[in-house]
Amino acid sequence: MASPLKPLERAALVTAFAAAGHALKRTRGGFCSSRQPARIFTRRVTNWLYERALIDYDDPSFPTQATLTKSGMAQATALVEQARLSAGAP
């Protein structure tokens, strides 16, 4: 069984889920969403997600974009739903 997601992994998944095209773009500081440019994730965090097959790089050797995979979408949807239920939203 896979280990639970780290807090930064969960944050990156939810940010990618809310991003346009469900993708994080590479910037000079790391990967971020065009909708939340202040929230930047390092290459290390995205590599953790890549190793879990939750994201896919456009080019594994020098990625410029990290897009959620089907399993990443399912995991992100579950995280969003869990947050929604814990907040008491319908």
90 residues of the chain, pLDDT tens digit each: 578 999 999 999 999 999 999 999 999 999 999 988 999 999 999 999 999 999 999 999 999 999 999 999 999 999 999 988 888 766
Give the pLDDT of residue 73. Answer: 97
List, in sequence order, every beta strand (DSSP E) within the chain: 23-26, 31-32, 40-41, 55-57, 65-68
pTM of the shown model: 0.90
Structure tokens at 83: 């947050």
What gap in Å lies between CA 53 and CA 64, rounded to an integer?
17
Q: What is the largest CA-CA distance in the chain?
A: 43
Q: Contact 12/25 with Cβ under 8 angstroms?
A: no
What gap in Å lies between CA 11 and CA 42, rounded to an integer?
12
Can you name the residues that pair with 25 across neighbouring β-strands? 32, 65
